[in-house]
Structures are given as structure tokens and as C-alpha cells.
Amino acid sequence: MDMATLLTASRGRLTTSERRVAEHLLAEPQSVAFGTVATLAKATRTSGATIVRLASKLGFDGFSSLQASVRDDIASRMRPAVERIHAPAPGDTVGQVLTVESRNLQATLASLDRADYERAVHRLAMTAGFSPPHSRSAGREDSW
């Protein structure tokens, strides 16, 4: 559940001070995501205890968990904008295929065990009669 939905659902259970913090959180989420309990308490004219109580009422273990959730909300809103900027133009079939396949390749490579990958490359290179690259460990072939 995103933060706005969570705060709206919890509004009836919040004290006046907690509602003030919640309103600030909605208006300036970056100040919560990257601030401290003290700076948030000062900005909302409340106390550190009020901030921690609000986090608890919203179901978080503490301010750090609330902060992490707000950061996730900010990141999820930023990601679509970045993707739109880098997305191929509508009708650009080649660009769309390239985008999808690049993501697939990135996901595949990210999931590989690098040591296993290097051993497989070494074995393939040796089978084909190539010498493995020497830059891996200052010229030592046994690093493969």
C-alpha cells in the first residue's frame, strides 16, 4: 500500500499532532525520506515521540522503517518517469524489441554466479584453442 493510501486509511485514528505530521509527510515526502526525527518534529511543531508513535500506528517498527517506505514510494514514482524518457518512440518496433531484450539480458547476467561464468568462459576458450585473457590476475592463467 502506498503512503498516501495508508495515511488516508489511518486518518481517523490519528491525534491532531500526528495528522500534522501525516500532512507534512504527504506534502514533503523527501523531508521524511532523507531527514531525521528531530528535523521532522521541528518542521511539524511536534515531538520526536509523536513521530515515532505515528510510525507505530501506521504499522512500522519505527521511524527508520517509515523512512524506508517513503523512500520506496519516491523511487517508484521516479522509475516510470525515467523509463518514459528512455523508452523508444511509439511505432519503433526495433527500439522496443531492443529495450525488452536488453532488460532480459541484464536480468540474466545479474543472476549469474560470476565465478561459474568465468570458469565456463575459460573452459570454452581452452576447448576452442584460445588462451584466456591475462588481465584477470596480473597474468596468471591459473586464476581461471
Contacts of 80 (CB under 8 A, 6+ apart): none
The domains of the chain, with CATH numbers, are: 3-79 (1.10.10.10), 88-143 (no CATH)
Q: pLDDT at position 69, please?
A: 93
Helix ranges restricted to H, the chain: 3-10, 16-27, 29-33, 37-44, 48-57, 63-86, 93-111, 114-127
Q: pLDDT at position 25, please?
A: 94
How far apart (Å, rounded) are the C-alpha atoms in residues 96 and 60? 40
Kindly list the distances between the CA atom of residue 39 and the CA atoms of 33, 35, 43, 45, 106, in Å, as whole numbers in the listed order: 11, 6, 6, 10, 40
Q: pLDDT at position 142, please?
A: 47
Kindly report the CA angle at 90 between 89 and 94, in degrees rounded to 5? 70
| Averaged pLDDT of the chain | 85
Whether residue 136 is predicted with pLDDT greater than 80 in this model: the reply is no
Q: pLDDT at position 134, please?
A: 57
pTM of the predicted structure, to 2 decimals: 0.55
CB 34, CB 53: distance < 8 Å: no
96-126 pLDDT, tens digit per residue, is: 888 888 888 888 888 888 888 889 888 998 8
Q: pLDDT at position 132, please?
A: 64
11-51 pLDDT, tens digit per residue, is: 899 999 999 999 999 999 999 999 999 999 999 999 999 99
pLDDT band at 70 (very low <50, low <70, confident <90, very high): very high
Whether residue 144 is predicted with pLDDT greater than 50 in this model: the reply is no
Whether residue 63 is predicted with pLDDT greater than 80 in this model: the reply is yes
Query: Of 21, 36, 102, 33, which is closest to residue 74 (Cα–Cα)?
Result: 33
Contacts of 121 (CB under 8 A, 6+ apart): 132, 144
